[in-house]
Amino acid sequence: MPTETKYTKDEEWVRIDGDTATVGITNYAQEQLSDLVFVQLPKVGQHLIKGKEAATVESVKAASDIYSPVTGEVLAVNPAIVAEPGLVNSDPTGAGWFFKVRIEQTAELADLMDEAQYRGYSKKQ
């Protein structure tokens, strides 16, 4: 099964590969936040609930919560963005990923937008 990228209305992207979801924030989100100076990630093994706070970012403008797009256990976090938060600004959909979570309830994926839906949504903002 190929990887598939979905999006939330909170501007997170979710790259789905089997039962694993890699989560980050969209380019639009990082532009709105501007220069990130701090990232706090969940702990490996932590259980996340869809729609609940999973991580926190602080920029020169404000602090924002990052929400988990799915329910599941954190499998990995990206230590590179803790050491260098600017990676989220320079490569939000690549090296700037936040965490990986094992998807517990695949039905939750139906609530996410595909790329075409997201493009339509983001144009409305």
| 8 A C-beta contact, residue 58 and residue 38 | yes
pLDDT in tens, 51-85: 999 999 999 988 999 999 999 999 999 999 999 99
List pLDDT tens digits, range 86-119: 999 999 999 999 999 999 999 999 999 999 999 9
> What would the two tokens of residue 123 be?
């144009």
Residue 39 has pLDDT above 80, yes or no: yes
Q: What is the pTM of this model?
A: 0.94
Residue 43 DSSP code: P
Helices (H), 1-125: 27-33, 79-83, 86-90, 115-123
Confidence of residue 122 (pLDDT cuts 50, 70, 90): confident
pLDDT for 125 equals: 55
Domain boundary assignment for the chain: 4-105
CATH of domain 4-105: 2.40.50.100
Residue 77 near residue 110, CB atoms below 8 Å = no
CB neighbours of 117 closer than 8 A, spacing ≥ 6? Answer: 7
**Counting runs of H as helices and runs of E as strands, what totals does the chain give?**
4, 9
